[in-house]
Amino acid sequence: MESLVTLTRGTPAAALLLGTIILASLLTLYAAPSLIERCVFRPHWLLPRREYSTLITSAFVHADLPHLLFNAFTFWAFAFGLERAIGTPRFVALYVVGLLASAAGTWFKHRHDPGYRTLGASGAILAVLFASILYFPGASIFSLPIPVPIPAPLFALAYLAYTWFASRQRRGRVNHDAHFSGAAAGIVFVALAEPSVFRQALGVFALSALRRAARLARLVQPTGPHTMPTTPLQIEALGLPWQTIDPFLFCVYHDDAYPRGNAQFGPDAPLAGRDLGQDFAGKDGWRMYHGLTVPGFPAHPHRGFETVTIVRRGLIDHSDSLGAAARFGGGDVQWLTAGRGIVHAEMFPLLDSAAPNPLELFQIWLNLPARSKMAEPHFKMLWSQEIPRHVSTDAAGAQIEIACIAGRLASIDEPPAPPPDSWAAQSESDLAIWTLKMAPGAHFTLPPATGEHTRRKLYFFKGRSVTLDGQAADRQAAIELPALQPTELANGPETSEFLLLQGRPIGEPVAQYGPFVMNTQQELQQAFADYRRTAFGGWPWPDSAPVHGAERLRFARHADGQVERFAHNKA
């Protein structure tokens, strides 16, 4: 019962629709079968007899139990997570659009057939399914007859192809026209309502296709004893967030030109015209994010993964449900293991009341293996002065600066150890997090990784252009590199900066919803239930967005009472 309550919490539309479909279908199938005739949709008679109500009623009843069970299962599997992701109003709009579009497609094709009749919610449910694929393009889908997971993009293409073919055959009682129109409506709805989500999904689909093509090429390419098969570079535009590869889950880059601060450590500038509580638009070059007075992210939960926060400029105030706190910035890194659950706030105090307060940071989400997902939560500070940094010059005297947050690079000193439960702490993980800055025209060769199964991705986030093994990237981009081969970087005419994420994949199933990352849907439901019951220890702070005063001192006060203090570093 607890799991059912958890599943439906925050999803009133999905719960109401599913309940109505099941009850109405069972009623017409077993208690009042005569009602089916009043609900059935007959395209030919829609206009002459004004049977407009059947556009709706036909989508809530089914002609047989197997069709009901399949549709109910599909809706249950995708609708609840999608409503949580996009909100109830947008979810309802999507469902209505899918319902009407599927009815329109059926009407157009069968309007001249007096005997054609149809029932079922397939069209609207397919709109939900295909919208879900676009919002979660990296997911895999289980289709009942097939016992293995199918990648979302492959499923989408195969389903649309089958539906198009089946609708042309006009065989059987299944309304494939409704399926095709509903699926298309879901795709178009997302493309119009959230173009960035649509573009990001297309990027994921394209990358998936490139990977499969690369694997196929490696299988058929002849190689001799002295040759190594080459892997084509996979270059994609930077989205929001940046797309990552296992063992990483997520990477976001914040670059905000905050103005001078006010007495409350917020921006000394009008907030009118901003969607406070959800301000990601970048008006005037900065964002409030979820903050109302001070920019940042007030109290929110995490379970099952780690956050690595690299602050290049500005300051972050951390507060958490363990009673721990920190202020860090100017090159510092916080490595937080959420483990079995923690609530924390990340606020961006604007301490300078006389000058601008720029903020620049990366936040990287790193997955935890199943054995560590319920580890004790805690954080470790990697202070700026502890992080190995190296400046070198190429043959022409151009400078390259490298910082190693995790993973040793050549002769550069080894960085501080990651937290003990981290995947990065395992010797076989071959995990690396590096930043590189290259002067105009500089050349640098990335050495190969050491692990046989390591994957590597380079994020080109500042600069005009760079060439990688002879292949040009003339815009900011994410590039998956062949990890087992050296890569020659040749910078363009402007200073360029890069973030490199590397690691051996954990290779376990990922079940993610928002701030919870587990291995199964059941574990996700348990995470919601645990958070609702315990709040992961409660919140010991007077408000949800604490700020640690006006002093510029960098510090960390850990849950065990340990305190670290350092002077402010503006690096």
Q: Give the model's pLDDT for residue 569.
A: 65
The closest alpha carbon to 182, from 113, 115, 133, belongs to 133
Name the strands in the sheet holding 234-237, side by side, starting at the edge strand that comes first in the sequence: 234-237, 477-481, 455-462, 496-503, 432-438, 399-406, 389-393
Give residue 398's region: left, alpha or beta (phi > 0; psi -120 to 50): beta
Token readout for 3 is 């799991």
284 and 361 together in one domain: yes
The CATH number covering residue 347 comes to 2.60.120.10
Residues 502 and 342: their CA atoms lie apart, in Å, by 26
Confidence (pLDDT) at 176: 63
Q: Which domain holds residue 443?
A: 228-241+388-508
Q: By the 8 A CB rule, do 336 and 344 touch? A: yes
- Both tokens of 537, joined, read 């220890």
458-511 pLDDT tens trace = 999 999 999 999 899 888 899 999 999 999 999 999 999 999 999 999 999 999
Residue 202: its H or E element: helix 195-220
Is 209 a member of any domain?
no
Question: Within the chain, which residues score under 50 in pLDDT?
Answer: 1-7, 172, 223-229
Taking the C-alpha atoms of residue 229 and residue 224, their distance in angstroms, rounded to an integer, is: 9
Please report whether residue 488 resides in a domain. yes
- Is residue 69 included in any domain, yes or no? yes
Q: Which residue(s) pair with 344 in the sheet?
A: 300, 320
Q: What is the pLDDT of residue 132?
A: 85
pLDDT of residue 144: 55
Model pLDDT, residue 226: 41
Is 356 a member of any domain?
A: yes
Q: What is the DSSP letter of 289?
A: B
Report the predicted TM-score, pTM, of the whole model to 2 decimal places. Answer: 0.62
Token duo for residue 422: 């981290």
Residue 379 shares a structural domain with residue 463: no
Angle in degrees, 0-180, between the axes of helices 195-220 and 152-169, rounded to the nearest 10: 100
331 and 255 within one domain? yes
| 354 and 260 in a common domain | yes
Looking at the fold, whether 459 and 441 belong to one and the same domain comes out as yes
Q: Residue 560 domain-assigned? A: no
Identify whether 203 is part of a domain: no
Would residue 219 count as lying in a domain?
no
Q: Is residue 191 part of a domain?
A: yes
How many domains, the chain? Answer: 3
- Shared domain for 362 and 466, answered yes or no, is no
41 lies in the same domain as 187: yes
Torsion of CA 293, 295, 301, 303, to 10 degrees: -170
The answer to whether residues 182 and 304 belong to one domain is no
